[in-house]
Amino acid sequence: MITNEQRAHDIALTILQTRAKGLKPIEAYHEYVNSLLPILKEIDKDFPNGIKEHL
pLDDT of 53: 61
| Dist. CA 35–CA 27, nearest whole Å | 12
Report which of 39, 46, 52, 45 is spatially closest to residue 2, judged by C-alpha positions: 52
pLDDT of 55: 47
Handedness of CA 44, 47, 48, 53 (dihedral sign): negative
pLDDT in tens, the chain (55 residues): 778 899 999 999 999 998 888 899 999 999 999 999 999 999 888 888 776 665 4
Report which of 49, 34, 41 is spatially closest to residue 1, judged by C-alpha positions: 49
pLDDT of 49: 77
Q: How far apart are the first and last CA of the chain?
A: 10
